A and B are shown apart, each in its own frame.
Chain A
């Protein structure tokens, strides 16, 4: 049964219509479909090929003729085909645009097409990954190997070669990396910022970067290592390279590291490297239960969210501290009216700097070393015969004033405790005492004052007004005792400044040769990353000899 439909005034070129005819002829209910414009020549063709129906006589050269040859008696078949023609023409006009990036079939062409490429992203079947990764390394590129099932000896070979040639191998089995904003494989669109994430776990990196982003902070780079990098056999080669890279990167101010607990031999070396990185490092060895958690600028977290929170806190402190002058005095003085606050400050300082705490609490000292002193002014020594300093700030004011003569004091830590029962204006008292003390010390001997405020919004002293008084007096407000201590330490020993030029790999967005999964290239290209997709296939059975022969004939 031949049926026809006309789409009036719908001119299309003949190639479009030939494509449509071919595609629609494959529909199950039809024998064949022919779509042509209603020109006299085309009408002749319909007649000659047995597809004529009288309706076609009405068609003008501007009318689209749809002729359906079908065994069905149902008129609906022709209507459905006509509807399909309309839909497909509409879709064609809208145009589904694919991401544009070059697709090549050989290394030679990949290198020609993107001579600046500095990362090869390999996601072919594991048995082929080593060969391709090695080829990439030998042409001077860094490599991320998404593939798994790569032998550990092969991994060692790749990483050793990379180390000897100043290159980084991420993986095998590396799921996630972000290099200069370029999302490699599984990655999230997180804002750029000062925190570098280095990890042996793909989802660990993803969760960390997302938690950091959720806290309003951003990522400089995220570098993957592969799950076996910290094993004894590999020895953390990529971890060390990655740490060296982020250490030298000026955009990175804080480093967050995540992995399973490293092999014992690797662990010591890794921790040593982190401690000497010259930047704050937060390390999370999942499932690890360390006795000590803070080592100078190295902090061990227990959970992903803790690691993220700590990294963000360190980055915020870094941003704050960058604009502050380095104090001339080297010591921390803590003058706390609250004993627990003093205790926490002392404990944190002691753990971080590996100091011995004063367990006798003589004269209210919670910590007393040559450099640092933390005093609890609520201790009996200070409250004998006078009110508690939370009620009467006179005693602390005295000690603040005394700092005028203490040239070694670089940072003063203090608390302001609001609420019922407390002094009506503790912030004002502290502010005045600090101003007087600073005036006495003179400009040549500045001292940084960091306060915490223990107060709620509805407290009688008015939290906002109290905070403003501190700020007006040039007193920094830390969100917690921990933040106050970290800030003090950061001010007294600022990180080594990375030189102006970042390492080549981190100098800009990665420029990528993608080998394997095409969808990775789609994502890279749609993120504006220079991408070449190398469509790689293993040589077919028997082709090896001739391919080698071809390669050998020069």
Chain B
């Protein structure tokens, strides 16, 4: 028991700093996440949610998973099955995270990220690329074909490749390099994705798969700019879980959204979710779409902002800063400076050249959010609100302040109870 919240927070931050996640394997989710082996179970993004309450993209992804797992042959069958037979559990309760809908089933492959220091493991599914993809709620045709290829070709090749690399990939080192190359790891991952491919390429080539499969894998990794997003998410989940294990203090260890509710967890408040209705992201839209098509905020990817990258490191990624508004770099600078108000420390490992080599933000403090009234900025893709259409834009969103206010009240109550 720490004497003060500040001391507890220092301990949480020390654990976060100490964590050393490594990408060691890619495996079927059901083989490493026990709950998925318990029959018709799906993991989803955000705090707990029932089928009826899910928004379009998540429902679409659920239908896609039903087809993928062979629980249904048609969309109609899938809808009936989803509404009656499936148990839904949050990724976050199972050491996992998933972008957008976050729907993950037993036979989908997941990245396995092991913490070399504290020993905990985190999982995240694999990025499917852009266009019609399951995470944004598309579920038919090419989506199913790609998911099958990822299961049958991409995952085994990556698994075999990672096993050839002693100790796997040191993600801390890779990200330290990528942030100097203009990634903030949420909206932009092109540098990190390239660095990962660079680290894997020779061992992919040296592997036992057929030339055609190896070529397909290399081409896929080569064109999937956001491949590293899911890796970064697993990294962040791994690190934040290590911090959460301290079990005290006011540092936020998870932020996530299920399309209805925004939920946060705080190190000193166990696995309780503090939730409030989500906002809808505002941003730029692809041709033919507008703000009216935007789905409310969704996905576990805000784990990046929880760690202090993504929107909190907007200034690192000049290439995408204009998503914050039309103002460009100076607006991004102002956003990042604003984030400094609510994060306790700077991450000396992730130095940002465009910010005079200041470290990225670290240690989001619920107290500071309430005291300042400043909520974190989250960079996000924007899903179409209807299932089956996919991504229609990208932008930013803020969590509702109420999540942090509830957490603060709970911290105060815990303080009174302890005294």
Contact = CB atoms under 8 A, between A and B. Distances in A.
Nearest to B7: A554
A13 B5 CA distance: 46
Contact of B5 (A36, A104, A537, A554): A554
**9 shortest A-B CB distances, which residue pairs?**
A49-B288, A550-B371, A18-B284, A550-B370, A550-B367, A34-B287, A98-B330, A105-B341, A109-B341
B372 interface: yes
A85 to B, nearest CB: 14
Given A105-B374, A106-B372, A22 B338 contact: no
Interface in B295-325: 319-320, 322-323
Interface size range of chain B in the complex = 35 or more
Contact of B322 (A16, A21, A549, A554): A16
Interface string B364-398: 00011011111000000000000000000100000
Contacts of B4: 554
Contacts of B340: 104, 109, 112-113
B408 A543 contact: no
B373 A539 contact: yes
A546 interface: yes
Interface string B322-361: 1100100010011001101100000000000000000000
A102 B338 CA distance: 9
A21 B287 CA distance: 8
Interface of B: 4-6, 250, 284-288, 319-320, 322-323, 326, 330, 333-334, 337-338, 340-341, 367-368, 370-374, 393, 405, 408-409, 411-412, 415
A553 B411 contact: yes
B326 A23 contact: yes
B287 A36 contact: yes
B233 to A, nearest CB: 23
Contact of B337 (A102, A540, A550): A102
A15 B408 contact: no
A100 interface: yes
B186 to A, nearest CB: 15
B287 A51 contact: yes
Interface size range of chain A in the complex = 35 or more
A103 interface: yes
A522 to B, nearest CB: 12
A48 interface: yes
A80 interface: no
Given A23-B326, A543-B373, A48 B337 contact: no
* Main SS class of interface, B: helix
7 contacts: A49-B287, A546-B405, A547-B373, A550-B370, A550-B408, A553-B5, A554-B5
Interface of A: 13, 15-16, 18-19, 21-23, 34, 36, 42, 45-46, 48-51, 98, 100, 102-106, 108-109, 112-113, 537, 539-540, 543, 546-547, 549-551, 553-554
Contacts of A22: 284-285
B7 to A, nearest CB: 10
A50 B334 CA distance: 39
A543 B337 CA distance: 23
B287 A103 contact: no
A462 B324 CA distance: 76
A11 to B, nearest CB: 15
Nearest to A49: B288
Given A13-B319, A16-B322, A546-B405, 5 more contacts: A18-B286, A19-B284, A49-B288, A51-B287, A537-B373
B371 A551 contact: yes
B372 A105 contact: yes
Select the residue from B373, B411, B415 with max chain A CB neighbours within 10 A.
B373
B136 to A, nearest CB: 17
B130 to A, nearest CB: 11
A521 to B, nearest CB: 12
Contacts of A19: 284, 322, 326
A526 to B, nearest CB: 14
Given A45-B288, A553-B408, A547 B6 contact: no
B341 A104 contact: yes
Contacts of B412: 549, 553
Contacts of B284: 15, 18-19, 21-22
Nearest to B373: A543
Contacts of B411: 553
Contacts of A549: 370, 408-409, 412
Contacts of A36: 287
B10 to A, nearest CB: 12
Contacts of A50: 288
Contact of B323 (A15, A49, A113): A15
Given A22-B285, A34-B287, A103 B5 contact: no
Contacts of A49: 287-288
Contacts of B341: 104-106, 108-109
B370 A546 contact: yes
A336 to B, nearest CB: 68
A240 B371 CA distance: 39
Nearest to A105: B341
A48 B286 CA distance: 12
B76 to A, nearest CB: 27
B367 A48 contact: no
